[in-house]
Amino acid sequence: RTEEMTFPLQNFPALEIATKSISFTLVENLGFKKNGFFTKRYVISSVLVLSLAIVAATTMDSLDKVVSLMGALLGCPIAFVVPPIIHTKLCGDGSSRLRLICNKIVATAGVLAMVLASIATVVNWDKKEDTG
């Protein structure tokens, strides 16, 4: 099955972005030390991967739902939230007001898509798939 072989490759970019944003949030908003134990990449990524492994091992027979949840929680932000934020940071004052508003709309739509896709995945978690 290709799911088991491609799962690490699918989630590597999401894991990198998640670990950096979690570390930033821990330092900036929660007062953790910048080079402290809980803000190190390997600690954060280990906790995320172990959490996913526990969910995968205890709740299902295949990884399809975990991949769906990962896509919802991390794929939507990577595709729709991060690019307009990067564009706003790079261009900042050089962008027109309309462009900044469009960036905010796209980022907000990405967050909304993330929430709705996550809810849809969780709501349909126990439903059996029709394979025939």
Give dist(CA 47, CA 51) in Å, integer.
6
Give dist(CA 50, CA 114) in Å, integer.
22
User: Cα(first)–Cα(last) distance of the chain, in Å?
Assistant: 18
Quick one: how far is CA 21 from the chain centroid? Answer: 10
Q: Give the model confidence (pLDDT) of 23-36 as tens digits.
A: 777 777 666 777 77
Helical (H) or strand (E) element with 128: none
Q: Give the model confidence (pLDDT) of 35-83 as tens digits.
A: 777 667 777 778 887 887 787 777 666 667 777 888 888 888 888 888 8
List b or e across 22-49, with b for residues whose CB sees 16 or more CB atoms inside 10 angstroms: bbeebbeeeeeeeeeeebeeeebbeebe
pLDDT at position 113 = 92
Q: At what angle do helices 2-28 and 41-59 cross, to 10 degrees?
A: 130
Taking the complete model, does pTM exceed 0.75, yes or no?
Answer: no
